[in-house]
Structure 1
Amino acid sequence: MLALGCDHGGYELMQEVKKHLDEQGIAYKDLGCYSTESVNYPDYAHKVGEAIQSGECEQGILICGTGIGISIAANKMKGIRAALCSDCYSAQMTREHNNANVLAMGGRVLGTGLALKIVDTFLATPFSDEDRHKARIAMLED
């Protein structure tokens, strides 16, 4: 299951992501926010991170205005590897090489079509499971 979180700057794009996931039958837990009213992005990054840390969700998607703040907040949490992606190649590589468990995007940066392709790429790409990548990821946990 996916954990979804956004702030007010990512709310509109998140609605498009949810429709896209619904069309594909992909299960998710919507952890907010629920309007364009101003909120604090770290709150939603933490909710998504906690859902992954607890094992309730395997991966997450976070969206704020630029994707920067919400990815920084998520990456401060143990075991969370959030990658800010604005293109499909980055989404593919962060899954293959970094085993990223959270995709971050900027709602004020990306158009809907590209954002949905990035989501699809992130979700469809497995971790390479190569020893060199495992070793590098382990270094992040120390």
Structure 2
Amino acid sequence: MKIAIGNDHAGPDYKHTIVAYLESQGHEVTNYGTDTTDSVDYPDFGHLVAKDVENGVVDFGIVICGSGNGIAMSVNKHKNVRAALCWMKEIAALARQHNDANVISIPARYTSENQALDMVKTFLTTDFEGGRHQRRVDKISHC
């Protein structure tokens, strides 16, 4: 699987943990995030991830910032990108099952690294259920 990851200064440790896991599982990871805790602007990294998802370059995206909100808002500006802010693995599962989310947004300041990794594992291994949910997902893009 191809996965793009992006983070701001709140998430470099989380990113390193997640990337190490993904690569150990044989996934191809594109790293757009910062590797330091020096202040940066999360949209700069989120938009790069979203463009890869939007253009079909990757299968999924992972974005990380302090609250998870700002970077999720940034990536959701892109066509056919459905980023879900997740704070527990059950929410990550529902984001995939019911919303066909293709980007997970992680709030680094409100989850542990272990929680984040569990959410990513769940997100990447949970399938979209389709059915009644497809109709709703189709309506997300129609404004």
Cα deviation, residue 107, structure 1 = 1.3
Please say if 1:12 is aligned against 2:8.
no
TM-score, length of structure 1 as denominator length: 0.95
Q: Give secondary structure in 2 for the equivalent of 1:95.
A: helix
Cα deviation, residue 120, structure 1 = 0.5
Counterpart-to-counterpart distance in 2, 1:22 and 1:58: 15
Counterpart-to-counterpart distance in 2, 1:70 and 1:14: 14
Q: Match of 2:31, as an amino acid?
A: D
Counterpart-to-counterpart distance in 1, 2:105 and 2:71: 7
Counterpart-to-counterpart distance in 2, 1:115 and 1:54: 26
Q: Give secondary structure in 2 for the equivalent of 1:109.
A: coil
Cα deviation, residue 22, structure 1 = 2.0
% identical equivalent positions: 38
Cα deviation, residue 64, structure 1 = 0.5
- Tell me what 2:76 maps to: 75
Q: Match of 1:139, as an amino acid?
A: K
Q: Match of 2:36, as an amino acid?
A: S
Cα deviation, residue 32, structure 1 = 1.9
Counterpart-to-counterpart distance in 2, 1:114 and 1:125: 16
* C-alpha contact (below 8 Å) 1:103/1:122 kept by paired residues: yes
- Tell me what 1:134 maps to: 134
The root-mean-square deviation of aligned C-alpha atoms, in Å, is 1.0
The equivalences for 1:78-89 within 5 A come to 78-89=79-90
Counterpart-to-counterpart distance in 2, 1:124 and 1:17: 15
Counterpart-to-counterpart distance in 1, 2:75 and 2:42: 10
Q: Match of 2:137, as an amino acid?
A: I
Counterpart-to-counterpart distance in 1, 2:37 and 2:9: 4
Note the residue ranges of structure 2 that are not aligned, 5 or more in a row: none
The equivalences for 1:1-142 within 5 A come to 1-130=2-131, 132-142=132-142
Counterpart-to-counterpart distance in 1, 2:11 and 2:73: 15
TM-score, length of structure 2 as denominator length: 0.94
* C-alpha contact (below 8 Å) 1:12/1:107 kept by paired residues: no
Counterpart-to-counterpart distance in 1, 2:129 and 2:113: 28
Counterpart-to-counterpart distance in 2, 1:141 and 1:109: 29
